Amino acid sequence: MSGNNKLGDFIGGFLVGGLIGAAVAILTTPYSGSEAKDEVRNLYNESLKRSDDLKHKAEDSINEFSNLTKDKLAEGLSNLKDRASNLVNRFDDLTNKGAGVLIEDEIV
Protein backbone atom coordinates (compact mmCIF):
# COMPACT_ATOMS: atom_id res chain seq x y z
CA MET A 1 0.00 0.00 0.00
CA SER A 2 2.82 2.41 0.76
CA GLY A 3 4.17 2.03 -2.80
CA ASN A 4 0.87 3.26 -4.21
CA ASN A 5 0.88 6.19 -1.78
CA LYS A 6 4.42 7.17 -2.79
CA LEU A 7 3.47 7.03 -6.47
CA GLY A 8 0.41 9.18 -5.79
CA ASP A 9 2.51 11.66 -3.82
CA PHE A 10 5.06 11.82 -6.64
CA ILE A 11 2.43 12.43 -9.31
CA GLY A 12 0.68 14.99 -7.11
CA GLY A 13 3.96 16.80 -6.47
CA PHE A 14 4.80 16.67 -10.15
CA LEU A 15 1.48 18.25 -11.09
CA VAL A 16 1.64 20.91 -8.37
CA GLY A 17 5.21 21.75 -9.39
CA GLY A 18 4.11 22.05 -13.01
CA LEU A 19 1.27 24.39 -12.05
CA ILE A 20 3.56 26.56 -9.92
CA GLY A 21 6.09 26.70 -12.75
CA ALA A 22 3.37 27.63 -15.22
CA ALA A 23 2.10 30.39 -12.90
CA VAL A 24 5.59 31.84 -12.50
CA ALA A 25 6.10 31.70 -16.26
CA ILE A 26 2.82 33.50 -16.86
CA LEU A 27 3.61 36.22 -14.33
CA THR A 28 7.09 36.85 -15.70
CA THR A 29 6.33 36.45 -19.41
CA PRO A 30 7.10 39.26 -21.84
CA TYR A 31 4.14 38.24 -24.06
CA SER A 32 1.04 40.31 -24.75
CA GLY A 33 -2.31 39.17 -23.35
CA SER A 34 -3.38 37.13 -26.39
CA GLU A 35 0.08 35.63 -26.79
CA ALA A 36 0.11 34.72 -23.10
CA LYS A 37 -3.33 33.10 -23.45
CA ASP A 38 -2.09 31.07 -26.40
CA GLU A 39 1.01 30.07 -24.46
CA VAL A 40 -1.07 29.07 -21.43
CA ARG A 41 -3.40 27.06 -23.68
CA ASN A 42 -0.42 25.30 -25.25
CA LEU A 43 1.12 24.59 -21.86
CA TYR A 44 -2.21 23.29 -20.61
CA ASN A 45 -2.61 20.98 -23.59
CA GLU A 46 0.97 19.73 -23.23
CA SER A 47 0.38 19.12 -19.52
CA LEU A 48 -2.75 17.13 -20.29
CA LYS A 49 -0.88 15.05 -22.83
CA ARG A 50 2.02 14.44 -20.43
CA SER A 51 -0.28 13.52 -17.56
CA ASP A 52 -2.18 11.15 -19.87
CA ASP A 53 1.13 9.58 -20.94
CA LEU A 54 2.17 9.24 -17.28
CA LYS A 55 -1.18 7.67 -16.46
CA HIS A 56 -0.78 5.09 -19.22
CA LYS A 57 2.80 4.31 -18.19
CA ALA A 58 1.70 3.90 -14.57
CA GLU A 59 -1.17 1.63 -15.61
CA ASP A 60 1.19 -0.46 -17.74
CA SER A 61 3.67 -0.75 -14.87
CA ILE A 62 0.95 -1.70 -12.42
CA ASN A 63 -0.45 -4.32 -14.80
CA GLU A 64 3.02 -5.76 -15.43
CA PHE A 65 3.72 -5.90 -11.69
CA SER A 66 0.32 -7.46 -11.04
CA ASN A 67 0.88 -10.15 -13.66
CA LEU A 68 4.36 -10.88 -12.35
CA THR A 69 3.02 -11.12 -8.81
CA LYS A 70 0.22 -13.47 -9.90
CA ASP A 71 2.72 -15.69 -11.70
CA LYS A 72 5.04 -15.82 -8.69
CA LEU A 73 2.15 -16.55 -6.34
CA ALA A 74 0.89 -19.35 -8.60
CA GLU A 75 4.40 -20.82 -8.74
CA GLY A 76 4.75 -20.59 -4.96
CA LEU A 77 1.34 -22.16 -4.42
CA SER A 78 2.22 -25.02 -6.76
CA ASN A 79 5.47 -25.63 -4.86
CA LEU A 80 3.60 -25.52 -1.57
CA LYS A 81 1.03 -28.05 -2.82
CA ASP A 82 3.82 -30.37 -3.98
CA ARG A 83 5.55 -30.15 -0.60
CA ALA A 84 2.30 -30.76 1.25
CA SER A 85 1.59 -33.79 -0.95
CA ASN A 86 5.07 -35.15 -0.25
CA LEU A 87 4.55 -34.68 3.49
CA VAL A 88 1.21 -36.48 3.33
CA ASN A 89 2.82 -39.37 1.44
CA ARG A 90 5.67 -39.58 3.96
CA PHE A 91 3.18 -39.51 6.84
CA ASP A 92 1.15 -42.28 5.22
CA ASP A 93 4.30 -44.35 4.73
CA LEU A 94 5.33 -43.87 8.35
CA THR A 95 1.81 -44.67 9.55
CA ASN A 96 1.77 -47.88 7.51
CA LYS A 97 5.20 -48.87 8.80
CA GLY A 98 4.11 -48.15 12.36
CA ALA A 99 0.96 -50.23 11.91
CA GLY A 100 3.07 -53.07 10.52
CA VAL A 101 5.36 -52.96 13.56
CA LEU A 102 2.37 -53.02 15.93
CA ILE A 103 0.88 -56.00 14.13
CA GLU A 104 4.19 -57.88 14.27
CA ASP A 105 4.55 -57.11 17.99
CA GLU A 106 1.10 -58.56 18.72
CA ILE A 107 1.76 -61.70 16.72
CA VAL A 108 5.12 -62.42 18.33
- Distance CA(35)–CA(107), nearest Å, equals 107
Answer yes or no: is pLDDT of 3 > 60: no
Write the DSSP string, 27-70: HT----HHHHHHHHHHHHHHHHHHHHHHHHHHHHHHHHHHHHHH
Cα 84 to Cα 81: distance, rounded to the nearest angstrom: 5
Q: Model pTM greater than 0.85?
A: no
- Which residue, 74, 58, 73, 50, is CA-closest to 3? 58
Residue 7 has a pLDDT of 81
**Residue pair 70/62 in contact by the 8 Å Cβ criterion:** no
Q: Which helix (H) or strand (E) holds 9?
A: helix 2-27
Q: Is residue 11 within 8 Å of residue 56, measured between CB atoms?
A: no
The yes-or-no verdict on residue 102 having pLDDT over 70 is no
Residue 24, pLDDT score: 86
Q: Are 13 and 23 in contact (CB under 8 A)?
A: no
pLDDT in tens, 35-84: 878 888 999 999 999 999 999 999 999 999 999 999 999 999 999 999 99
